[in-house]
Structure 1
Amino acid sequence: MTSAYLLVIHGSRALRPQIAAERLAYIVKQQLSLRQLMRISRSLSTKNGTVETSVRGSTALLQSVPSPLIETASLELTSVSLSQRIQQLGEKAKIQGIQNLKIIPLFLLPGVHVREDIPEEVAIARQHLGKTMNLELMPYLGSHCRLTFFLSRQFEEAATVGKILIAHGSRYGGGNQPIESIAHHLQALPAYWSISPSLINPVNILVREGKKSITIVPYFLFAGRITTAIAQQVKQLQLTVPQIKLKMGSPLGATPELARLIIEIIQANLG
């Protein structure tokens, strides 16, 4: 085990996002352990001249593989600052003989948090940890090229089905450009929770276009207060357009598929 990992989320007063983050970290840990086991197993098989491994040998091998050190942290709405969490995990990693700590921002957009806030927290932690721990800030989750594919699976490909991608929205100049680009790629209309255009605008556009149903996919990491409010708004809108079926999609969630994307980000930046 050469690195420890810290998954960073925005933070919330609600418990659901934190529970989901812990669940995702657990899945990432499982997948990293399995990949490490497979590498060791292949290495032993090559030395022994066989690709077969007994069940008893696999169990013993699994028990001998050290569990990856993976934890979570919040940027905001937490009693412990991100820099402090980085320091805590860094000290824990030192005890286990680990000299590298990779920080992965589980953020979907390259906003101020990704560009400024998180790098500043990493810099503070680096000053306290010194040269004994190598801190590496990884690309944010939303930069992964396959994330759009995960969103596309929730949309039905039919001429009579309208598509809407709804995000939180940013008031910073250019802050919503990534959403516009993703929506365009998905042939969907963008909508925002906190700014205009709100959900009702693209719904009205698609109704006028004659769509028979509309799928609304939330561009959020986990379910929480805002996604619950969006789902309630969808129910209210459904009452105003009974001739159209409105279908609410799901946020990305703590899934094995998302865990694989995180591991791909880690492995794409080795070295």
Structure 2
Amino acid sequence: MHDEGLLLIGHGSRDAASNAEFEALVADYGASRPGVVVQHGYIELATPYLADALAALAARVSRVAVVPLFLFAAGHVKNDIPLALEQARAAHPGVRFSAARHLGVHPALAEVAFERAASALPDDPAARARTALVVVGRGSSDPDANGDFCKMTRLIGEGRGLLLVEPTFIGVTRPSVEETLERVARQRPERVVVLPYFLFAGRLMTKLAEQVDRFASTYPWIRASLAPHLGRSSALSGLIDERARQALAGESPLPCDTCMYRTAMPGLAREVGGLKAMLYSVRHTLTHTQASNHPHAHRPLRKHVLVCGNADCVDRGSLALLESLRRRVKQAGQQQQIRVTRTSCMGRCGEGPTVAVYPDGVWYRGVREEDAKDLVEEHLLGDRLVARIVDDIMQ
């Protein structure tokens, strides 16, 4: 058995080319480090899933360092990975598991990003001074991630002699790409370079290219161009090394000072309250460890039902569904064994309302209020899937 293994975690994509790019990075990285077992896993949308990848690596090594290849820390880094590690520790008590920090705000990534932008920027200083750089992030419901992205944008553009450097988001939050490009156009630049701050290509790159083309058609007197995404680089490999060393040495705490799951953030209490409850309950059931002493004995929940309460699902009727589920659980006298919780965004916008049932790990999509009866009677009480609404992508 090898002593050490690294598990590089990607988000996962419906775009096969994006997953292939991630897996090529993992293969190259592993080939250059022959003394370490290097494998990969995904949070969602591609296999192997995180839990399966942890189990496979634990069978080969005595120490596992998980390195999340995520640019910023949001729900997957703060919730999904820690919970998966707790399960892995329980299943493999002889293996030491540790998690690295996400890639985060790092000068090496700022340099890589500017190198990508420079491929579309003019060399002449005078022309560069009339050029705007728009840096595009994925966008998140987590203010930590959005704030770090804006800081990263500043680092990318600092001292580069550009007319202006603007952060924007392709989804989830604002300002949107279209809004930012409109605002930038009013500054009358000669050129606009759009820099996708994405690790890998995929559907978002296709969407962004279409947005840049529309902007160029609307403002033909402004030269608009799309720079490459970050992709593979020696700097990224070096940063993975740094994060792995920190994890194996136990020096990689999560950033908690402004985490919305631990700190009340202005204007967000209503949005994250349900998610706080979800995390408390799931961690309580799985690990029975909280920050404060918790001496009382109790039985774990039989089922925990999570209902998306974010804007898109609310518009599709998730709140009525939530109340119907709670009412039917109470009518069945199971409110002490089955909990129904409203959460924040569950990442399935456009296909909701979304419902997840744990510890079964079953997700449903497009769930209507009239489906509540079958969900309670069939799944929650009868342990039978409601097949017509199962979200098979999430299994």
Short-chain TM bin: 0.7 to 0.9
Note the residue ranges of structure 2 that are not aligned, 5 or more in a row: 158-164, 250-395
Residue 43 of structure 2 is aligned to residue 89 of structure 1: no
Where does 1:172-251 land on structure 2 (aligned, <5 Å)?
172-187=142-157, 188-194=165-171, 195-251=173-229
Partner of 2:111: 149
Residue 200 of structure 1, CA deviation: 2.2
- Opposite residue 129 of structure 2, the aligned amino acid is A
CA contact (8 A) 1:27 1:255 kept: no
Residue 89 of structure 1, CA deviation: 1.3
- Opposite residue 237 of structure 2, the aligned amino acid is A
1:98-134 Cα distance to aligned partner (Å, 9 max, x none): 311111001111101111111111111111011x211
Supply the distance in 1 between the matched residues of 2:54 and 2:105 (Cα, whole angstroms). Answer: 22
Residue 257 of structure 1, CA deviation: 3.4
Relative contact order, higher structure (CA 8 A, sep 6+):
1
- Opposite residue 204 of structure 1, the aligned amino acid is E
1:178-228 Cα distance to aligned partner (Å, 9 max, x none): 112112233421111113211122222332222111111111110001111
Supply the distance in 1 between the matched residues of 2:144 and 2:95 (Cα, whole angstroms). Answer: 36
Supply the distance in 2 between the matched residues of 1:83 and 1:10 (Cα, whole angstroms). Answer: 13
Residue 79 of structure 1, CA deviation: 5.8
- Opposite residue 38 of structure 2, the aligned amino acid is I
Question: CA separation of 1:193/1:25 partners in 2, compared to 1, >3 Å: closer, same or farther?
Answer: same
Note the residue ranges of structure 1 that are not aligned, 5 or more in a row: 34-65
Partner of 1:71: 39
- Opposite residue 199 of structure 1, the aligned amino acid is V
Supply the distance in 2 between the matched residues of 1:26 and 1:80 (Cα, whole angstroms). Answer: 15
* 2:33 counterpart SS class: helix
Partner of 1:104: 67
Identity among equivalent positions (%) equals 25
Residue 256 of structure 2 is aligned to residue 265 of structure 1: no
Supply the distance in 1 between the matched residues of 2:145 and 2:230 (Cα, whole angstroms). Answer: 20
Residue 95 of structure 2 is aligned to residue 133 of structure 1: yes
Partner of 2:27: 26
186-195 or 133-142: which moved more?
186-195
C-alpha RMSD of the superposition: 2.0
* 1:29 counterpart SS class: helix
TM-score, normalisation: structure 2 = 0.55
Residue 15 of structure 2 is aligned to residue 11 of structure 1: no
Supply the distance in 1 between the matched residues of 2:104 and 2:142 (Cα, whole angstroms). Answer: 18
TM-score, normalisation: structure 1 = 0.79
Residue 146 of structure 1, CA deviation: 1.9
Larger radius of gyration: 2
Partner of 2:86: 123
Partner of 2:258: none
CA contact (8 A) 2:105 2:152 kept: no
136-145 or 115-124: which moved more?
136-145
